[in-house]
């Protein structure tokens, strides 16, 4: 009886990974000992992926991106959230005690004032109307 397609695909994928691992011999008998440098713009290990797109680099500090400045008005890590709206800034002192959303009808900072009644929202354009 033939193995189901999913099993065959899984076995093929596993075999491919084992063959591509550094230190394994290729078809010519040569050993691939190259290690991916995650910050040089080159596919060092020959697996067609370079730097942060290479699975070898997914946990590299060169590739793990976080919000680096919680007060610069920019989305430093490219996750479409900036500064205090980014979960990376939750523990940043500049983000503590601020109304996070001035339109959600919730007391985000726990000071007893909600949205436009909170002094943190006085400058919000939606609260000036």
Which of 32, 12, 30, 8 shows the shortest CA–CA distance to 20?
Answer: 32
- pTM for this structure? 0.36
The pLDDT score that the predictor gives to residue 1 is: 47
Name the one residue in this structure whose structure tokens are 């290690």.
35
| Mean pLDDT, all residues of the chain | 75
Is 70 exceeded by the pLDDT of residue 2? no
Q: What angle do CA 47, 52, 53 make, to 5 degrees?
A: 50
Q: Identify which has the larger pLDDT, 125 or 64.
A: 125
The pLDDT score that the predictor gives to residue 3 is: 52
């Amino acid at each position: 009886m033939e193995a189901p397609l999913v099993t065959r695909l899984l076995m093929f994928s596993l075999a491919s990974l084992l063959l591509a691992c550094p230190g394994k011999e290729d078809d010519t008998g040569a050993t691939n000992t190259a290690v991916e440098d995650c910050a040089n713009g080159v596919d060092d290990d020959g697996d067609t992926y370079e730097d942060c797109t290479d699975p070898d680099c997914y946990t590299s500090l060169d590739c793990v991106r976080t919000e680096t400045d919680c007060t610069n008005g920019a989305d430093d890590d490219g996750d479409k959230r900036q500064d205090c709206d980014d979960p990376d800034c939750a523990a940043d002192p500049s983000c503590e005690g601020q109304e996070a959303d001035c339109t959600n009808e919730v007391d985000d900072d726990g000071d007893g004032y909600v949205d436009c009644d909170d002094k943190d929202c006085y400058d919000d354009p939606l609260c000036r109307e």
